[in-house]
Amino acid sequence: MIPQEISETLKARFGEAILEAKLEGVLNPSIRVAPERVQDIALFLRDDDHLLFDVLMCLSGVDYTAGKLGVVYHLDSMKRSHKITLKVEVTCDNPRVASVQSVWRTANWHEREAYDLFGIVFDGHPDLRRILLPDDWEGHPLRKDYRVPEFYNGMKVPY
């Protein structure tokens, strides 16, 4: 399927949850969806016979600045050989996105990483804890407004 058809299919099925589609003039066509519906949409994308997106290639957290965070899902279908990018946007005050780890297991660690480095909370994730940083780390370093703490556990950080 070409990206236009994928976008039409999703709009027909999910209506208002599909917020915006950028399909022309970009390197990877993308569709922006509502953060609370992303799990239903993911399940549909994986199981629908014409779509069959069986691989979640990458899940990335992004800090768009101005109080907005985002999650980007790059999907690939081995059987149908087509790709699509899903995007969601949330605010820094309420960074909650539905977890897709029950749809693609690979999302489990990716979501933990996005939680660790951006502080995005994935609703429905069974084991949402830090993955790369120590458990007692404060703050989320990949946010653009992050400041390196002066002390870690009472020890002065050298720079």
Partner 1 sequence: MEETLTQSAGVPGFARALKSEEIVINMGPQHPSTHGVLRLSVIADGEVVVDVIPHMGYLHRCFEKHCEHMTNYQQVIPYADRMDYVAAMSNEFGFVVAMEKMLKITVPERVEYIRVIMAEFSRIVSHLIAIGTYGLDIGAFTPFLYCMRDRERVLDIFEQTCGARLLYNYMWVGGLSHDVQPNFAERSKDFCTYFRPKIKELNDLLSYNKIFIERTANVGVLPADVAINYACSGPVLRGSGVKWDLRKNDPYSVYSALEFEIPVGTGAMGKVGDCWDRYMVRVREMEQSVNIIEQAAAKLPAGDVQSAIPKRIRPDAGDVYVRTETPKGELGYYIIADGSASPFRVKVKSPCFVNLSALPAISRGAMISDLVAILGSVDIVLGEVDR
Min CB(86)–partner 1 separation in Å:
12
Q: Which part of the chain contacts partner 1 (CB under 8 A), choosing from 1-9, 11-19, 36-44, 48-56? A: 48-56
Write out the binding residues for partner 1, residues 61-120 only, by CB under 8 A: 61-63, 72, 74, 78, 81, 85, 104-106, 108-109, 117
Adjacent-strand bridge partners of 32? 20, 87
Q: Which residues contact 18 (CB under 8 A, 6 or more apart)?
A: 7, 10, 11, 31, 32, 33, 34
Our finding on whether 142 is near partner 1 (CB under 8 A) is yes
Q: Can you give 34-83 as a three-state secondary structure string?
A: CHHHHHHHHHHHHHCCCCCCCEEEEEEEEEEECCEEEEEEEEECCCCCCE
Our finding on whether 131 is near partner 1 (CB under 8 A) is yes
**Measured from the CB atom, is 19 or 142 closer to partner 1?**
142
For residue 11, what is the DSSP state? H
Q: Which part of the chain contacts partner 1 (CB under 8 A), choosing from 4-12, 22-30, 35-43, 151-159? A: 22-30
**Sites of contact with partner 1 (CB under 8 A):** 26-28, 54-58, 60-63, 72, 74, 78, 81, 85, 104-106, 108-109, 117, 130-134, 141-142
